[in-house]
Amino acid sequence: MKTTTLIIGCGDIGMTLGQQLIAAGQRVIGVRRGAIAALKDSGIEPLALDISDPAALTELPNADTVVYVLSADRFEEEAYRAAYPDGLRAVLGELAGRKTPPKRVFFVSSTSVYAQQDGEVVDETSPTEPHGFSGILMRQAEQALLDHPLPGTVVRFSGIYGPGRDRLIRQVSEGRIAAGAPPMYSNRIHRDDCAGALAHLIQRTHDQAPVDDLYLASDCEPAPLHEVMLWLAGKLKVESTETIQSPLRRRASKRCDNSRLRESGYVFRYPSYREGYAQVLKEGGFLPAQA
C-alpha cells in the first residue's frame, strides 16, 4: 500500500515537497484555505480547510506522516501566534486522538529562534533565546511538538530563496549592496533543498531509520552577505552604487552548521549560494543577454 503524507499549509514548499513524494510513489494530501486548483494540477489531493476552525480539524484525514508548514497571514504577533503555537497544538490534539495516529509529525521552523549575532557557529545544541515575537512564538511551537506524545521532528530552515524568492537579486540589480565591514554572515537554503530535506526525513521515517527530533537545514556554506551580493553583481554585470546598512535591531550574523542533516544521508542539490543562485538567475531570466 502507498504511504500517505498530509501537508498542512501546502504552499510553495509544500507543493514542491508533494511533487517529490508523488514521484517516489507516495500519496499526498495538501491542506490550504483556498486556491486549491494548483494542487490538483500538481497531482496532490487538495483539501480546502481552515485549521483555525476547531470544527474543521475533524476533517483532517489520517496519514502516515504529517508536515506542518503553515505560514502566518501577516507579520504581526497575533497572526504568528495563531499560525504557529496555537495552530500546531490544535492539530496535534486532533491527531493524537485518532485510532491510527501519524508515525511522525514534522514542523517547519526557522533559524529566527537563534539570537546569536557575532558570527558564532550554531547547530541543534546551541542556545535559542529569540528577542522578536516571531522567533519567540516559533520557539513555543517547536517546544509544543517536542513535548507532545506524538513523535515529532522540528526542521529549522535558514533564509529560503529560489524561484519567485528573488529579493536579493533585485536589490543587487538596482546597484544596492551590503556593507563589507563588519562582516554580516548570512545563511540560506534553496526552496528545492527545503523540500528535498523534508522528503529525505519522511523516507527515513517510512524505512524505520533513526530520525532526530531536531534538524538545522541550511546550505553548506554560510557566507558574508557582502560576498554573496558581490558575486551576484558579477553575474548580473552591474556596479554597486549604494551601500545597504541594516538597522541594528535587525542585524543578525551567525553561521549555521548542517552536519546533523548531512550525516543523516541528505545530499544538497545546491550546496552553496553559487549553485543555487546560478539556477535562479538562469531560470528567472535575470542574466544579461550575451553580446
**Domain assignment of residue 203, yes or no:** yes
> What's the pLDDT score for residue 290?
56
> What's the pLDDT score for residue 224?
94
**Domain assignment of residue 156, yes or no:** yes
Question: How many structural domains does the chain have?
Answer: 1
Q: Could you tell me the CATH number of the domain that includes residue 43?
A: 3.40.50.720
**Domain assignment of residue 54, yes or no:** yes
**Domain assignment of residue 46, yes or no:** yes
Is residue 54 reached through a cis peptide bond, with omega within 30 degrees of 0 on the bond before it? no
> What's the pLDDT score for residue 111?
95
**Domain assignment of residue 247, yes or no:** no
Q: Which of 210, 208, 216 is nearest to 188 (CA)?
A: 216
**Domain assignment of residue 124, yes or no:** yes
Give the domain range for residue 77. 4-162+188-222+255-269
Which parts of the chain sit beneath pLDDT 50?
Answer: 247-250, 291
**Domain assignment of residue 39, yes or no:** yes
The secondary structure of 225-282 as a DSSP string is HHHHHHHHHHHHT----EEE---GGG---EEE--HHHHHTT---SS-SHHHHHHHHHH
> What's the pLDDT score for residue 251?
58
pTM of the shown model: 0.94
Q: How far apart are CA 6 and CA 28, in angstroms?
A: 6
Alpha helices in the chain, H assignment, sequence order: 12-23, 37-42, 77-81, 87-96, 133-146, 167-173, 191-206, 225-236, 259-263, 273-283
User: pLDDT tens digit string along 87-102?
Assistant: 999 999 999 999 999 9
> What's the pLDDT score for residue 249?
41
